[in-house]
Each structure stands twice: as C-alpha cells, then as structure tokens.
C-alpha cells in the first residue's frame, strides 16, 4: 500500500494561490494574524486542492473539501474529500500533505529547544514514553521528544478525533527504536507508523490504519506549486 507525501517550504507561498480557496478557507486565511500562519495554511489548502484536481481532473477551485469538526461542526477539523484519504500538517518552515487509500495521519513539528519537556510529558506522555527520553540531554532531548510527539500526533490524526483523545492512551515506541504503535486504547485495528526525514530542524511521522506493508513515496512539490 502506497502513501504519497509532498513537502512544501513556507517561502513557496504566493498570494495568487488564494483564488482557488473556498469561502470557509478564505475566512480562515483572513483570520490568521501572522503572515507565517497565513502562508502555511495557504500552502496546505493549495497543495491539497491541486493534488486532488490532478487526480480527479477538476479545476483546483472545484475540489470539494470537508473540514467539519466532529465537536462543533465548524470547518477546522481533519480535511476530507470523497474517494481519497488525506492528512495535512504544518510547522516551522514545512507544510506536508499525505494522500492514500486508507486513513492517514501526517505530522511535522519544528524542534523547539525551549519546550518544557517535563511539563508536556506529565500531561501527554505515557510512563513508557517518558522512560524512552531519559537517556537524552539538551538539544538531543528536544529532538527525541519532538520525534515521539510527531509519532503520537500522526497516529491520532488518522481518525480525525484529534487531541481531545487522552494522549497518554496512544503509546508509541522510543525514539531510538523503529516507529510503531505500542498501545492505543481507542482503536484495535492494524496501524503502521514511520518517521520521515525532514532535516535537523524538524521531525515528522506518518501513520496509516492498514496492515499491508507501507510504501511511502515522497514527491517533488515544485510541479504542484508552479
Ligand atoms: C489535529 C491536531 C492534532 C493537529 O495539531 P498541530 O500539530 O498543531 O497542527 P498540524 O499542522 O500538524 O495539523 C493541522 C491540520 O490537521 C488537520 N486537522 C485538523 N483537525 C484534525 C483532527 N481532529 N484530526 C486530524 N487532522 C486534523 C487539518 O488539515 C489541519 O490543517 P488545516 O486546518 O490547515 O487544513 C490538533 O490541532 C487537534 O487535535 N485539534 C483538534 C482539537 C479539537 O478537538 N478541537 C475541538 C474544537 S471545537
Ligand atoms: Zn470544533
């Protein structure tokens, strides 16, 4: 089973991309105060629209996306489209999109050396995950934590439930071990997890809810963003 991944960099955003966004997306774009948040959101929308446009032979503006939140109905949930499984992520300089035939979750995070790992760990990590970070110090600890964090987020992003789930009930392997789901109270089916190489400043992971061996194809985004 193949999952296709594309990565854009924040400096690839161009104002004219916004013409293809629907009314909900235009509202969200306008509501971001910081230019960098606008750019990341715009690139996520644009890549999804252009990739599905190519797949379904439609103009990008005609691609129908549904981001309904399962809690409140507002358009800020997992992005969905008929006939395909998607996941979008953005952080720091990177914006990623994954497309497959089974539920996918993609997560990227910029490594933040200032993050209070102990505080986040208490709230969000299982005891086994905390132990897996014990051997690291300084920047290596920030990187290891970020890798574990993206593994967990990729898993929860498959279903669209999001961080309302108690993150401690999704347990992933330690950063020096092959990426895999160790336990997930809310889901009993097959899962696969893999780290993705995105350079030293970010960490990324991809999860898929399917048993067939996962092949990840990382594509050239420049064709999508010309
Ligand atoms: C989804 C979530 C895990 C990702 O957070 P993050 O790491 O800060 O951000 P990322 O950039 O990696 O992911 C954001 C993208 O994930 C997608 N997304 C949003 N909610 C999602 C969810 N519940 N599950 C999976 N994907 C989701 C969207 O495509 C979003 O990008 P877009 O809005 O530009 O299209 C987190 O935002 C979350 O759990 N949100 C839901 C919280 C909630 O339940 N809110 C209820 C509000 S009423
Ligand atoms: Zn909501």
Predicted pLDDT of residue 161:
81
Predicted pLDDT of residue 100:
98
- The closest residue, in CA terms, to atom 9 on ligand 1 is 89
Give the closest residue to 202 by CA, choosing from 86, 108, 73, 84: 108
Q: Please, which residues have CB less than 5 A from ligand 2, an ion?
A: 69, 71-72, 74
Of ligand 1's listed atoms, the one at least distance from the Cα of 106 is 12
Predicted pLDDT of residue 87:
98
Q: Which residue has the tokens 């309904």?
A: 68
8: part of which helix (H) or strand (E)? strand 2-9
Predicted pLDDT of residue 164:
64
Quote the mean pLDDT of the chain.
96
CATH number at residue 58: 3.90.470.20
| C-alpha of residue 162 to centroid of ligand 1, in Å | 6
pLDDT digits (tens, 9 = 90+) for 121-147: 999 999 999 999 999 999 999 999 999
Number of domains in the chain: 1
pLDDT digits (tens, 9 = 90+) for 64-101: 999 999 889 999 999 999 999 999 999 999 999 999 99
pLDDT digits (tens, 9 = 90+) for 26-37: 999 999 999 999
Q: 130: domain range?
A: 2-223
- The closest residue, in CA terms, to atom 12 on ligand 1 is 89
């Amino acid at each position: 089973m193949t999952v296709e991944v594309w990565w854009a960099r924040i400096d690839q955003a161009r104002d004219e991309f916004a013409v293809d966004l629907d009314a909900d997306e235009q509202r969200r774009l306008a509501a971001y105060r910081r230019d960098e948040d606008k750019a990341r959101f715009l690139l996520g929308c644009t890549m999804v629209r252009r990739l599905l446009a190519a797949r379904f032979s439609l103009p990008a503006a005609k691609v129908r996306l549904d981001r309904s939140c399962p809690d409140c109905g507002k358009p800020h949930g997992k992005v969905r489209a008929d006939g395909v499984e998607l996941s979008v992520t953005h952080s720091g300089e990177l914006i990623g999109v994954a497309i497959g035939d089974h539920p996918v979750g993609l997560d990227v995070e910029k490594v933040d050396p200032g993050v209070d790992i102990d505080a986040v760990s208490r709230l969000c990590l299982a005891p086994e995950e905390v132990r897996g970070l014990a051997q690291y110090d300084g920047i290596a600890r920030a990187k290891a934590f970020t890798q574990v964090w993206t593994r967990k987020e990729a898993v929860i992003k498959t279903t669209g439930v999001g961080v309302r789930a108690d993150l401690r009930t999704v347990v992933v392997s330690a950063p020096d071990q092959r990426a895999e789901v160790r336990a997930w109270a809310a889901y009993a089916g097959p899962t696969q997890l893999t780290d993705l190489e995105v350079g030293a400043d970010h960490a990324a992971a991809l999860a898929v809810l399917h048993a067939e061996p996962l092949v990840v194809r990382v594509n050239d985004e420049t064709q999508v963003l010309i």
